[in-house]
Amino acid sequence: MKKRFLTVAIALIGLIAGRMATAQSGDNYDGTFTNPVVWADVPDPDVIRVGDDFYLVSTTMHLMPGAPIMHSKDLVNWDIMSYLYDRIDEKPQYDLMEGTVYGRGQWATSLRYRDGRYYAYFSPNDTPFKGYLYSTDNPSGKWSLVARLPHFHDASLFFDDDGRAYVFYGTGQLRELKPDLTGVLPGGIDTTLFVRDAEETGLLEGSRVVKHDGRYYLLMISWPVGAPRRQVCYRADRITGPYEKRVILEDAFAGFPYVGQGTIVDDGRGNWYGIIFQDRGGVGRVLTLMPCRWVDGWPLLGDESGRVPETMDKPVAGFSSPRLTVSDDFNAKDLKRNWQWNHNPIDSCWSLTARNGFLRLSTGRVAENLFLAPNTLTQRMEGPRCRGIVALDLAGMKEGDVAGFAAFNSDAGVLAITCRDGKKQLSMQSQSVSLTEKEKRVSDVKTRTHETVALTSDTLYLRIDGDFRVGRDIATFYYSLDNKHWRQIGADFNMIFDYRRFFMGTKFALFNYATQATGGYIDVDFFDYKRLGE
């Protein structure tokens, strides 16, 4: 069953010359790139440069490990190098017990560098409202929790030239920290820098702060009355103000109404760039990269007309990197860094050694449905189109077990294998979860079964194709008994971005859970991934 030619095939692909823009990021491999520079769910970016290296942190909320730290040499090709943490054990909801943290957890992390150390701060969007401050001297290694700070919404950690440390947060709020960063400084600066003006509605959030030519620049997202979201900047000569405001990006790019929330960074040679995400429906929030032009002391984003460019020169030529979503034959001693679990995993219930060359997913507790199932393993889906194939050995399933492959979100398209009365069958389903507001408990799961087929073999191949071209957001589902002859099953599934429940783009998801008794398992032979073109 093992697809032994996988390594050889990957090597052959690496030898193919020419234009491979659909293989990794928006890189066109001719010195240019096309936006979105990363057509996958990478929201709330903060980016810093240290020497010739760029580092980015993003939001992954309820996924574990969490808060991916990405590295790039060119601001175009990004590689996941580490995570801030492996798991959060602060309350049972992170274990899918007594509720969930769907759409909560880690949000909008701030990344900074000072005196040989890297720092990252975030505050989970759930109770208890406390912030986490992590640090390391090696961003590709382990990050350590150094302090629990108060809750600061969408905060930007900031180190001033005089060594003092601050947090910008909320809608123009500023708080000074102790020199050792272990808490707020008693008697230190604690002020509101400005209030929103009459053209704004709701919060201004997503704070990102830079200091340039002696001035302070606070970048935020804005929701103007009766208009789409945009990026604004507040600047001041002193950290406490007074601050003046200017709109620095307002663009409906590529058929979507706005681009908004991110930061700016320089390349060390006088050039500046904006890294701003865009809501793109079912795939999630994608990254765009654009020039940042300093005009009259303001960091204006986009080209000379203020638009996000579809294609432009790479900031730095000659670099590429692995994809954010990757194939895995499960022959290594560790899972690839691109995988994330849905909530905390039960570590005793997954293994790469129980069967050589396979990932074993064992049932760890009885669960009512997919949205409460522990050890669901995910990777991002990517645009414009993508395809994921998994090979499963189902011989270890027990009565009442449910296993399979999904386009996973709060509305999920699911290929579910069930074991009932000693027989197995495959169904294509659409599922939609309802969550309570307070503890995000699963209150209901609406399931519609579109097609069911009986299985006569314990070897099964499942495939999901994702189409995220403008106006599409469609997943289609297939199965095969030999990985050669494929049959479509069920109906096309409309993938969405749900702002009320998961707040996340759709992910490929592998799962196996028990509805009656634990002890069953499935073996996953491989996950084969391809990003496809237009």
281 lies in the same domain as 366 = no
pLDDT over 50 at 485, yes or no: yes
pTM of the full predicted structure? 0.94
Q: What confidence score (pLDDT) does residue 9 get?
A: 39
- pLDDT grade, residue 25 (50/70/90)? confident
CATH number at residue 453: 2.60.120.200
Task: Give the number of domains in the chain.
Answer: 2
Distance CA 75, CA 77 (A): 6
437 lies in the same domain as 497 = yes
E-strand ranges in 184-243 read: 190-192, 205-212, 215-222, 230-236
pLDDT over 50 at 496, yes or no: yes
CATH number at residue 146: 2.115.10.20
Q: Taking residues 436-446, what's their average pLDDT?
A: 95
| pLDDT tens-digit readout, 240-297 | 999 999 999 999 999 898 999 999 999 999 999 999 999 999 999 999 999 999 999 9
Percent of the chain with pLDDT over 90: 89
Q: What confidence score (pLDDT) does residue 2 get?
A: 55
> Is 21 a domain residue?
no
| pLDDT tens-digit readout, 165-205 | 999 999 999 999 999 999 999 999 999 999 999 999 888 99
Distance CA 216, CA 283 (A): 34
> Is 36 a domain residue?
no
Q: What confidence score (pLDDT) does residue 22 get?
A: 43
Residue 19 half-sphere exposure toward CB, CA atoms < 13 A? 9
345 lies in the same domain as 410 = yes
489 lies in the same domain as 434 = yes
> Is 318 a domain residue?
no
- pLDDT grade, residue 1 (50/70/90)? low
Please name the amino acid found at residue 288: T
> Is 331 a domain residue?
no
Q: Taking residues 409-433, what's their average pLDDT?
A: 97
Distance CA 259, CA 273 (A): 15
390 lies in the same domain as 307 = no
Parent domain of 235: 46-313
What does the block give as tokens for 377?
Answer: 């393993």
Q: What confidence score (pLDDT) does residue 23 get?
A: 44
249 lies in the same domain as 305 = yes
* Cα distances (angstroms) measured from residue 236 to each of 120, 441, 495: 25, 44, 43
Q: Give the chain's end-to-end CA distance (angstroms, integer).
A: 32
- pLDDT grade, residue 24 (50/70/90)? low
What is the chain's mean pLDDT, rounded? 93
| pLDDT tens-digit readout, 40-81 | 999 999 999 999 999 999 999 999 999 999 999 999 999 999
Q: Taking residues 454-475, what's their average pLDDT?
A: 97
> Is 329 a domain residue?
no
